[in-house]
Structures are given as C-alpha cells and as structure tokens.
Amino acid sequence: MNRRYRKTVIAGNWKMNKTLSDTQAFAQQLRELLPRGKWCDIVLCVPAINIPSAVRLFKNTRVAIAAQNVHFEEKGAFTGELSAAMLAEQGVKYVIIGHSERRQYYNETDFTVNKKIHAALAAGLNPILCVGESLEQRELGVTLEYITYQVKTALAGVPAEQMRRIIVAYEPIWAIGTGRTATAQQAGEVCQAIRAVIRKLYDARVARAVTIQYGGSMNAKNAAELLAQPDIDGGLIGGASLNAEDFIQIINAANQE
Ligand code: PGA
C-alpha cells in the first residue's frame, strides 16, 4: 500500500452467493463490526437482484455497493442483461469488469472488457478491471506479457483523466477459490508490472494514483503480508468476504500501518 498517493480499497465479491435475507443478516453484523474512522474504502459486489436492498442496508456507512458485471450497450435487445445507467441509477458505485469466471463461462473477451470499461465510465461507475494469468501461462513464463496485453487492451481509448476512477485487480486464475494464494512476492511483482504498464500508457502521476488490488484466496491470515507490498493497494476477496468476521479482519489489516 502507499496511502500517500492512492486509495486502499477492500472489495468483497460475493459471486452467486447470499439471498436477500442472508444479505440483511450480513449487513447487520458488518455494521456492528465496522471500525470508526481511519477506514480504507470498502466495497461489496453483491448479486444484481439484491443491489437496491444492499444500497439501503449500507446507507450512511463507508461501504459502497458494486455490481459484478455490466453490459456494454446502452440499451436494447439483450435479454437478461443490465446497462451501466440502470446500475448507476440504483446507487451502484463500482462494477467488476472482466472477472476470470465471466471470461471463462460467458465468453467475455479482452475486447468486450474494453467496451464495458467505456460503458461503465460513461455512466459514472468506477470499474474494477480484473486481469490474471492461467496456471499454464505462469508455468510457461509468459505471465507479465499476458497481463500487459490484458491491461493495454482493456484500457484502450481511456483518457488519462478517467484513470483515477479505475481499479485494477490482479487475480491469478490458479489462485481463485483454490486456497492457493500467490506469494506476496509473486503478487507484488505482477502488481508492480501493472503499474509500469500504466506508466508507459499514461505517465508517472497517473500510474502512482491507480489503486491495484490483489485477488485470489486472500483471507484474514494472508492479507497483511499481501497488503504490505508497495504496489498492492487492496484486495478483491471472494470466499473470505462471505463471513462478516473474516471480512472485517481483512479490513482491519488494510487499516494498519
Ligand atoms: P476467492 O475469489 O477469494 O474466493 O479466491 C476471489 C475472486 O474471484 O474475486
């Protein structure tokens, strides 16, 4: 982390977990546990149907509500999809774009990711752009090249002044939901490389201000070590965000220093 230049953001990605009643119970528990003052920014990416309720449940707290996906078109015949404007109007502040599960199961490509980034920015949402290599890519030694390609493609056409609104989440696919975390050194190295790519695309000032998260089996035990890396400014947390006590421990780790 480097609080001087950029925000620390801890985001929970609930994926397809928690009904409305589960969400209500979680909100009550988390609100009681939230530390006062000195907070890192906290985001909860909830299932779309529970967004309006979650916005209400976390009103007047520092917890912002996020969506897990968005369509890139403004409107039209896209059955089952949601537009960025629909999300923004419901009080959504952030949206995950390009999560590896969406790339894997729903044919999301680097090109649709780029379009979604533009759609989200146009509607005033803050994108959480996910990038990450597969195990095969890591073993072949092409991680940094692949991540560079993903970041460049996703950010194509994004002007420097919009970069303040973008969070990049580095999520190695082999570490997601597997209990196998990247070491702090491995994660730090890739996050540093992501910042270097942004420096090349824009400039040092833009790169310094971008929040870069790590995601992939981050939990209460390993959070402090990962967050101690200078280029890791937060986490995108799946499994460990489903339990308010675990999630709060990660928030507390991000508030240390
Ligand atoms: P995990 O998920 O923490 O359960 O590994 C992270 C993510 O997919 O965002």
Model pLDDT for residues 145-169, shown as the tens digit of each residue: 999 999 999 999 999 999 999 999 9
Please say if the pLDDT value at position 38 is more than 70. no
Exposure of 117 by Cβ count < 10 A (0-12 exposed, 13-18 middle, 19+ buried)?
buried
Q: Report pLDDT for 14.
A: 98
Question: Does ligand 1 have an atom closer than 6 angstroms to the CB of 98?
Answer: no
Q: Which sequence spans correspond to the domains of the chain?
A: 9-254
Exposure of 2 by Cβ count < 10 A (0-12 exposed, 13-18 middle, 19+ buried)?
middle
Active site residue 99: yes
CA of residue 108 to ligand 1 center, whole Å:
18
The active-site residue, picked from 101, 108, 133, 171, is: 171
Active site residue 136: no
pTM of whole model > 0.95?
yes
Tell the CATH superfamily of the 9-254 domain.
Aldolase class I (3.20.20.70)
Question: Does ligand 1 have an atom closer than 6 angstroms to the CB of 166?
Answer: no
Model pLDDT for residues 178-220, shown as the tens digit of each residue: 888 889 999 999 999 999 999 999 999 999 999 999 999 999 9
Percent of the chain at pLDDT above 90?
92
